[in-house]
Structure 1
Amino acid sequence: MRHLPSARVAAVSALVAVALLAGCRRDAAPAPSTQAPAPAVASQDAAFASAVDAFIDGAFQHYPTFAANAGRHEFDGKLPDYSPAGLKATGDWLHAQRDRFAGFTDAQLDDRRRFQRDYVLAVIDGNLFWLEDSGFPYNNPGFYTGDLSPSMYLTRPYAPLPQRMAAFVAYQEALPKAIDQVRANFKLPLPASYIDLGVNSFAGYASFFRSDVPAIFAEVKDDALQARFKASNAAAIQATQGMADWLAAQQPQATQDFALGAEKFSKMLRATERVDIPLDRLKAAGEADLQRNLDALKAACDQYAAGKPLKDCVAKQAADKPEGGAVEGARAQLDSLRQFIVDKDLATIPGREQAKVEEAPPFNRWNFAYIEIPGPYEKNLPSVYYIAPPDPKWPKAERDAYVPGKADLLFVSAHEVWPGHFLQFLHSNRSDWKFGQLFVGYAFAEGWAHYTEEMMFDAGVGGGTPETHIGQLANALLRDVRYLSAIGLHTGGMSMAQSEKMFLEQAFQNPGSARQQAARGTYDPAYLNYTLGKLMIMQLREDWTAQHGGRTGWKAFHDQFLGYGGPPIPLVRAQMLGGSAEARLWTAPATAVAAPASTPTATPASDTAPTGEAAPAQ
């Protein structure tokens, strides 16, 4: 799920509502004409630029946590107004903004501004969908939990600790009112999986506030501030635990009414990603990609674990655990992944920033991994790649199984850091258009990160061994089943139990992860965007590199793609290829067969499509 604050997330984060250029400049759109613009166009250009600036200012007012996370710290400690009047005011503002930008006609704008207008309209339409069409403000805790996250104040050293403590205290003081507003918005009964999400999230907040936060600020020598902290901390614990308890009390009346329905699901895709493809075609594309990856898995397993069922083959890969656990294992992988990008010349790496790896905090463990990246107004601050430990309530065998194998973890690290989210945001934060730095869409961010996993395997990461391939395919199959579960859960009558079974049997997930993933599909219907975005990027790469050197054009393709900020991918397609903003999904050639990975070399344009052996993941 997604609203105005951009990914992530991803965090990129789960509801994905949570969390979220090179040394040489990249255009965020086609370069303007070298001819002097006509006076009328020049006037509209200035009016358009002013409208964009006003939109950003208004977005910060309506979404103050978005502003603070972007690095506008005058908004520190503030939370949105979740009252009915506040939600209506936000909706009214979005509609007025839509009318304003729709009023800029093609004739009034040059090519660059037309692209930017369509980008702004897509952001507005997406946020209107989540606010007014999805129903999530009235039944889904995930609509709110991203805004309520205090992670920035605790983990991002953007200011001296006393200043961040004061901001956190203001946040704690605002939290009880915000939670009361959220509770008042919910219309009972609620879907069972939504209740579970809320219980886990709010109880996680309460535990974190109680057990972890006091030690973070203990060294601050300010008696008055410490007194405010103590009082507000107690109130925050009471409010968050009270919310968790209230939600838990709704469990006896819980429903399974989580499905958006086909009409809303299709509207979600049009509004948020500018994808207007019939659901039967979308489903068929996902089924084809799933089968492609299952075929590739069988070929890899024939080499790695000959004669064993696929489930046992994947389990063998998963049993080869990273030394020291997932966090230590990921730390060891990042340097080699970055060097691989440099050695293979796969993409420009702007700047010298690095990402740290830490254990995820208790309130944000709904998914295995995510990265928190400072916003575009911040300077010289670290990004943090978070990895969640298994739920201590699970049986020991499930806890052990939750820690991925080394090969699996390699592609999680590629997805989150090199060359996935972290590299993408290094580029977007250097865009020459502030709007493109701030608003990065779900399919763009997750599609890119997912795409890079298959691309890295194709380039030979990890030596292209069967075990490495199985790790990459494990992530690919997970995303394929997410894609099909989202469509099934929300448009096809699929139950959570059926989705969970699919994760177990076709993505070979461990039981704990399968439960998590099936539940996430109910409250994050847009999590099909990992594979949806990947398939659109793969088709775009095939079409673009056909005219730009085939496989030798990968770096140029990657750099140009990342230079647009984060709009819906069909808009990027129109800019890179010309023509209309049409969504096109890649499908493997019918004759594709599994083959060993190879490094990028010059190939004929007709060979630029990925072969059937590789599949994106994460």
Structure 2
Amino acid sequence: MRRSLRLLSLSACVAAALAAGCKSETAPPADGAAAAPAAAKPAAAAEWNAAVDAFLQGYFERNPVAAANAGKHEFDGKLPDYSPQALQANIQWLRQQRDAVAAFGDDRLDAGQRFQRDYVLSTIDGQLFWLEDSGFAAKNPSFYLGDLSPSMYLTRPYAPLQQRMAAFVAYQEALPKAAEQIRGNLKGPLPATYIDLGTMGFGGMAQFFKNDVPQAFAEVKDEALQKRFAASNAKAIEAMQGLADYLTQQKPQATQDFALGADKFARMLKATEGVDLPLDQLKAAGEADLARNLAALKSACEAFAKGQTLQACVDKAGADKPAGGAVEGARAQLAGLRQFVVDKDLVSIPGTEQAKVEEAPPFNRSNFAYIEIPGPYEKNLPSVYYIAPPDPNWPKAERDAYVPGKADLLFTSAHEVWPGHFLHFLHANRSQWKFAQLFVGYAYTEGWAHYTEEMMFDAGLDGATPEIHIGQLTNALLRDVRYVSAIGLHTGGMTVAQSEQLFKDKAFQDPGNARQQAARGTYDPGYLNYTLGKLMILQLREDWTASRGGRGAWKAFHDQFLSYGGPPVPLVRGQMMGGKAETKLWTAPAVGAPTTAPAAAPAGAPEAAAPAGGAAK
């Protein structure tokens, strides 16, 4: 995936979180956890459940978009208050909530509730970082773009079209005030990449409202509603285009001042992901993963395109395009991916839901692919895997190169749907604790989805041929360069141009993707979480399965891992290993060193146990 599913920048974290239900159920003790003490006293349990309920209800009220996206449609049409006063009040409320949650000491809670408490505290810490410490409300359009997306009303059939149209009209009527507040908050000078993001996002919404939305509601016969729609639509177009024009006017004063700095970057990782390793160790781990995947690509290319350069090899694999384009190609891949998961018995698939594949709307094309999954309060609604077409303004050669080859697309589809994001949320939405259905962390969800690409290759997907391996590795290298770029851009003085070149040289990205990826690193500093999450999951799998049969325990590991919802991975490690929350990253074994003992392999799986991209198969 080239875009985060529920990116936990504030607006998306809100969307992933708030949508929750207020059903207070205790999470079961994790398998392998330390023996639980006596159950909490009934009075303490009731107080804890009430505290969580109060947090969720307050969060709904302050973040109505997240509530509506979760399926709480009494919040339809509402937008948050983005005024400086409201943002500060939200900070104060979060601090008060944190104090109230932290007041539940270990002696008042059982083992499951202690995990819940730490999960809630980590969520609040992440929210406070984005609201207060990051400074994004004052300069980063991505802080707002998630909340402003109208996709829910147009693409999710949660109610009859006329009812959704009425909600959409209310949303449009709220946009001018929101746009005025956003414009007041985004004070220049702004980084050039932030200006470009806002111009594209807000301007794309204006064009979408003008060209596409009227047709979406054309069949509704309510004349009064249509008249109200026409009026609100004109004002919404004006508001969004006005924001885009305002940002365009900032271009002469544009800066390159996007870096968080080492201290703030480290605070981001601690607050949002519970990761507290020194930056030099984090950097070394990412560089090592980049090196192992480059070495594996060289080996695969020796078999696939012997004597050619790595770039020529990748181009050869990329030239094998999916029939009918990326959208049609992805549709054709999903059934096979699901069947492979079933045949290899890799992870449980709860339910019978399927995901649709569609072209991404014009206002959300800053990355190649993403998936939208209905919140836990929705029933029997489809998830949609969106794929962006190339920018029509690019040269034809760049537009053609932007469409991935079949092998590359296969692992994007694995990441987004089977067994990546979509399967993750099939599990998360069945959690016994509603909070875990709502708050899903960046490194957990993107780490899982990226991890599954490598795991699927290791299990023999499509014969694990050299061409298929190249498809998996190009996806891995993309995430490795994101990791290195995030640290470089925000802590090491790396320029956007240097990051762009790195995506071309080490991840073999086409010019359009390289530009997008380098720019994204400036306004999404957490996009190292794909590789960071994967490395934490790989190490946890190695440690957990070591005493449970090695590779034969993969399915049990996957099911157990997915049972937690989406907390920081170090917190999951503490639950699964029966100890404290801690950060441990997997590193490839030295050349010639033995890999993890495979023990009993799943039926039909290759015998090699090392993650793909490491030792030769």
**Same fold (TM > 0.5):** yes
Give the SS at the match of 1:362. Answer: coil
Alignment of 1:479-558 (within 5 A): 479-558=479-558
- Distance between the aligned counterparts of 1:42 and 1:555, measured in 2? 36
**1:83-162 → structure 2 map (5 Å cutoff):** 83-162=83-162
Distance (whole Å) between structure 2 residues aligned to residue 401 and residue 35 of structure 1: 55
Map of 1:4 onto structure 2 = none
Tell me which amino acid in the other structure corresponds to 2:179: I
Matched residue type, 1:581:
A
Moved more, 84-93 or 226-235: 84-93
Offset of residue 158 of structure 1: 0.2
Distance 2:26 2:506 in 1: 40
Distance 1:338 1:263 in 2: 43
- The 3 A distance-change label for structure 1 pair 36 and 128 is closer
1:562 equivalenced with 2:556 (yes/no): no
Q: Can you give the 5+ residue segments of structure 1 that lack an aligned partner in the other structure?
A: 1-6
Inter-partner Cα distance in structure 1 for 2:2 and 2:307? 41
1:24-45 residue CA offsets vs partner (Å, 9 max, x unmatched): x99554389999956x733211
Moved over 6 A (4+): 31-36
Residue of structure 2 equivalent to 1:3: none
Which amino acid in structure 2 is aligned with residue 382 of structure 1? P
Asked whether the 8 Å contact 1:136–1:143 carries over to 2, the reply is yes
Q: Distance in 2 between matches of 1:333 and 1:34?
A: 44
Letter matched to residue 610 of structure 1: P
Which string of whole-angstrom CA distances, capped at 9 and with x for unpartnered residues, describes residues 582-603 of structure 1?
A: 01000000126999xx994489
Give the match's secondary structure for 1:384: strand
Q: Measure the CA separation in 2 of the matches of 1:299 and 1:58.
A: 54
CA contact (8 A) 1:473 1:614 kept: no
Structure 2 residue aligned with 1:221: 221
User: Match of 1:363, SS?
Assistant: coil
What corresponds to 1:299 in structure 2? 299
Equivalent-residue separation in structure 1 for 2:520 and 2:254 (angstroms): 16
Q: Do the aligned residues in 2 keep the contact of 1:299 with 1:594 (CA within 8 Å)?
A: no
Residue matched to 1:394: 394
Q: Which letter does structure 2 place at the counterpart of 1:136?
A: F
Contact 2:158 2:381 in 1 (8 A): yes
Question: How does the TM-score come out when normalised to structure 2?
Answer: 0.94
Does 2:611 match 1:610? yes
Residue 10 of structure 1 is matched in structure 2 by: 4
Instruction: Return the offset for 1:613.
Output: 3.6
The aligned residue for residue 263 of structure 2 is 263
User: 1:455 Cα shift?
Assistant: 0.1
* Residue 594 to residue 355, structure 1, CA distance change in 2 (3 Å): farther
- State how far apart, in whole Å, the 2-side matches of 1:287 and 1:35 are: 40
Amino acid aligned to 1:108: R
**Secondary structure of 1:364 counterpart:** coil
Give the CA deviation at 1:182. Answer: 0.6
How far 1:495 moved relative to its partner? Answer: 0.3
Indicate if the aligned counterparts of 1:415 and 1:421 stay in contact, CA closer than 8 A: yes
- Is the alpha carbon distance of 1:614 and 1:417 closer, same or farther for their aligned partners in structure 2, counting shifts above 3 Å? farther
Corresponding position of 2:359: 359
Question: Does the residue aligned with 2:533 lie in a helix, a strand or coil?
Answer: helix
- Structure 2, unpaired ranges of 5+: 17-24
- Name the CA distance, whole Å, in 2 between partners of 1:34 and 1:263: 38
Task: Describe the shift of the 1:117–1:88 C-alpha distance in structure 2 as closer, same or farther (beyond 3 A).
Answer: same
The whole-number CA distance in structure 2 between the counterparts of 1:459 and 1:602 is 10
Tell me which amino acid in the other structure corresponds to 1:450: H
Q: 1:274 — aligned with what?
A: 274
Instruction: Report the AA paired with residue 543 of structure 2.
Output: D
1:147-546 residue pairs with structure 2 within 5 A? Answer: 147-546=147-546
Q: CA RMSD in A?
A: 2.4
Partner-residue secondary structure (3-state), 1:232: helix
- CA gap of 1:94–1:265, structure 2 versus 1, over 3 A, is same
CA contact (8 A) 2:198 2:247 kept: yes
Give me the TM-score of the superposition, normalised by structure 1: 0.94
Q: Distance in 2 between matches of 1:167 and 1:266?
A: 41
Question: Cα distance, 1:614 vs. partner?
Answer: 7.5
SS of the residue corresponding to residue 357 of structure 1 reads: strand
Measured against aligned partners, the alpha-carbon deviations of 1:242-289 in whole angstroms (never above 9, x if no partner) come to 110110000000000000000000000000000000000000000000
Contact 2:129–2:268 at 8 Å: present in 1 too?
yes
The aligned residue for residue 591 of structure 2 is 591
| SS of structure 2 residue aligned to 1:146 | helix
Summarize deviations over 1:358-410 as a string: whole Å, max 9, x none.
Answer: 00000000100000000000000000000000000100000000000000000
In 1, distance between residues paired with 2:210 and 2:593? 55
